[in-house]
Chain A
């Protein structure tokens, strides 16, 4: 007889593993990514492959040669980071900038903090912001959907503004909303607009979000509170002055709000642990996003909003404890 195995209870384990969570996120991102490929063509595929490959490679190299620990690239977390980063940049971004972004995401934001689970900020978002500040032109040159499909390296003439971008610049020129030509809700909904390669199609992102909820990888708290807050806040502004402020549905569908609310803010590592904490986190993200979009210098505020709220997560975790069973006050 073999020696019996001894350990404390429980003696069985659920099916969910880090691997299944990470690949679940990848599957959930696929519809939005495919929409990006449909609108922006082969360039989107190249950016994605470069991003994923370099993220995985950097993780492998750092773990193997710098930290000298077991490599964990199999768990899929680097793939998720790479895919998210690619989906948050324009498909026209030069490949070497994508590699730099990957290095920032994996090397600085993830590994320097201690690897998986230890990072304070969302790696893909920090990398995106880093690229935005370092290469502002490349990062705000948006290929036009459909028209730019055939282009792989030369996007001259087939670029245009994002809906939020044109809103911002034309408002600054003193036009009223009625005078500004914005894409229709249908285009916003299906994704026939300029923007980062993964953020354009609202319907694809929502499908991914439903899949994540179904698999119980995320809970409803952050996406719902984030989107609802952004809706209410921008709605109030719109009611105050519809000539100056865009309507709430436009704000929800345009830009990176949906990918942010469903995939970036819900990143397990950098979001709060309790239900109320998540709701507060979502509200903070929603308010900050609209504040930056409406009053800030940048047309888009999702990345900054989520990163700022990331910094508050330890505090939120401290302040919002779950209600204990039979708690005696």
Chain B
């Protein structure tokens, strides 16, 4: 046999063995002692790394949970109740009650309701449009429609409908809150999903006086106080000419929807009313 082959095999073998020894030594020398529960918790998490919990990624969140040893204020909004229960069992803790949330868009200033009065010719980004002007519909609180929320969403759960110019949330929403942060006008709110996914909320953020708000948008909240008076459960409050429905007090009785003169209160997934549909009742929209 040609000795050069032999030499090659021996040299390469020695190099390999040497490297393996060094690697082994380095690995044992620099070994990081880590709580094995971190791995277990991290595995239980959805691994979306969305940042909805307030930490950079799922692993950071797992580290934080194991380190503090409690689940107070540490919630994975994406995994929800199920995941939190699993984590609680890993750590031997009590699972906190997690309310299932969803993002809702609190503006209904579609092209139809709030027609364009200007033509925007700048960068197609809400953040930039917001610092430049009031928006094409003229409402300084309304949706700008350039889809910063859509770009922020990692779950394909919010999309701007080209027909209305408004974002719509679908069932993929995990309530991570990325869109809430992305919206320069704070139009998107995290609300409890509600029983059977039924929700009632005010689809307006306009704090201007009624007449001014109405000028820009058909469906603006004009702060007329009718809903507040109508509500028997003290669920609705009015501040700065704007009504807000407390989701925890609302019983979904729908009285407010009926009295609202501008149809700015939206009911989602509620069954059709028993009374025959009236011509003046608000159109029902499913999210």
Contacts and interface: CB of A to CB of B under 8 A. Distances in A.
Are both chains from one complex?
Answer: yes
Interface of A: 3-8
A6 B118 contact: yes
A5 to B, nearest CB: 5
Interface in B115-141: 116-123, 128, 132-133
A6 B132 contact: yes
A7 B118 contact: no
Interface in B239-280: none
Nearest to A5: B119
Nearest to B120: A6
Nearest to B122: A7
A8 B118 contact: no
Interface of B: 116-123, 128, 132-133
A39 B115 CA distance: 67
A202 B97 CA distance: 81
B116 A6 contact: no
Contacts of B123: 8
Most buried by B among A3, A4, A6, A7: A6
Contact of A8 (B116, B119, B132): B132
Contact of A3 (B118, B122, B128, B132): B118
Given A3-B117, A6-B119, A6-B121, 7 more contacts: A3-B118, A3-B119, A4-B119, A5-B118, A7-B121, A7-B122, A8-B122
A3 B116 contact: yes
Contacts of A4: 118-119
A3 B133 CA distance: 14
A58 to B, nearest CB: 31
Nearest to A11: B121
A3 B119 CA distance: 6
Nearest to A2: B119
A4 to B, nearest CB: 5
Nearest to B133: A6
A7 B133 CA distance: 8
